């Protein structure tokens, strides 16, 4: 997706981008330090060009880096990893792009705790990255790619998917599906165990309730007998 058209930020988003508060933006707007744009309904918004201007960065002098990101699940797939690198290097060379960093990552696409992947997202938020190139969506993340793409777009980072299905190993998809099934089976087992516990608790509660009910009836009968005895006397 080309991010050149995704340039508008709400005040809260722009404040986070500049690491200031919304009140600071409002004050700067009043003081003409950083004047907000206005929609036809008089809502404030800012553009990425304003961010670059405020930071003293020209679009033509964008020094943020271009990153190739590659991933496989295990170190036994190093050949697949290098195939991704070679494929993407060929692509950027054809486009005349200069790559600043090549990331070779290991781990499941379902794992959101991948160290190198999180470091890359951190650099995205620090406005150090201009473009990320991947050979397939699932090389970046197995599920939720669209969300992460929009997240990167907020920082004017473009994710280029140079789609090559051959570089998305079928075995990895099977492994990830197995992992998902394992997680749900564990949860179902836990729910069954919890259900038995609830049923046990309900049985205990019902027993206590029945016992209390029996005791209450017995007490009422005793009181009734006592009243009749007093009347007879």
pLDDT tens, the chain, 233 aa long: 333 444 688 999 899 888 899 999 999 999 999 999 999 999 999 988 888 788 776 666 678 999 999 999 888 989 999 999 999 999 999 888 889 999 999 998 888 899 999 999 999 998 899 999 999 998 999 888 999 999 998 888 999 998 876 655 555 555 556 655 655 566 665 566 655 565 555 555 555 566 556 655 666 666 665 655 555 55
CA distances from 156 to 5, 6, 41, 51, 214 (A): 9, 7, 25, 11, 72
Pair 106, 94 in one domain: yes
User: Domains in the chain: how many in total?
Assistant: 3
Contacts of 28 (CB under 8 A, 6+ apart): 34, 35
Q: Examine the domain organization and report whether 160 and 71 are in the same domain.
A: yes
Tell me what pLDDT residue 211 has: 59
Domain of 223 in residue numbering reads as 170-233
143, 117 Cβ separation under 8 angstroms:
no
Choosing from 63, 73, 229, 232, which is the catalytic residue? 73
Contact 139, 107 (CB under 8 A): no
CATH number at residue 117: 3.40.50.1390
Q: Is 147 helix (H, G, I), strand (E, B) or coil?
A: helix
The upper half-sphere exposure of residue 141, i.e. CA atoms within 13 Å in the direction of its Cβ, equals 18
Among 134, 168, 202, the domain boundary falls at 168
Which value, to the nearest 10 degrees, does the dihedral of the CA atoms of residues 61, 64, 70, 71 take?
Answer: -160
| pTM attached to this predicted model | 0.55
**Is 73 tagged catalytic?**
yes
Same domain, 43 and 76: no
The candidate with the shortest Cα–Cα distance to 3, out of 56, 55, 54, 51, is 51
Claim to verify: residue 232 and residue 178 sit in the same structural domain: yes
Evaluate whether residue 3 is within a structural domain: no
Nearest Cα neighbor of 134 from 206, 70, 187, 219 is 70
Please count the other Cβ atoms lying within 10 Å of the Cβ belonging to residue 51.
19
């Amino acid at each position: 997706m080309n991010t050149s058209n995704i340039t508008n930020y709400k005040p809260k988003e722009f404040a986070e981008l500049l690491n200031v508060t919304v009140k600071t933006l409002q004050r700067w707007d009043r003081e003409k330090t950083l004047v907000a744009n206005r929609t036809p309904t008089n809502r404030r918004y800012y553009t990425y060009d304003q961010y670059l201007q405020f930071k003293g960065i020209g679009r033509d002098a964008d020094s943020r880096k271009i990153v190739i990101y590659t991933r496989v699940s295990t170190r036994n797939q190093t050949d697949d990893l290098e195939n991704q690198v070679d494929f993407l290097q060929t692509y950027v060379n054809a486009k005349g792009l200069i790559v600043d960093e090549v990331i070779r990552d290991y781990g499941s696409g379902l794992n959101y705790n991948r160290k190198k992947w999180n470091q890359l997202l951190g650099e995205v938020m620090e406005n150090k990255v201009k473009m990320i190139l991947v050979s397939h969506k699932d090389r970046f993340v197995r599920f939720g790619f669209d969300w992460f793409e929009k997240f990167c777009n907020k920082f004017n980072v473009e994710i280029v998917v140079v789609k090559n299905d051959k570089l998305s190993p079928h075995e990895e998809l099977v492994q990830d599906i197995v992992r998902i099934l394992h997680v749900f089976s564990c949860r179902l087992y836990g729910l069954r165990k919890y259900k038995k516990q609830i049923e046990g608790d309900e049985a205990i509660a019902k027993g206590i309730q029945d016992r209390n009910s029996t005791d209450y009836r017995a007490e009422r009968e005793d009181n009734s007998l006592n009243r009749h005895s007093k009347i007879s006397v």
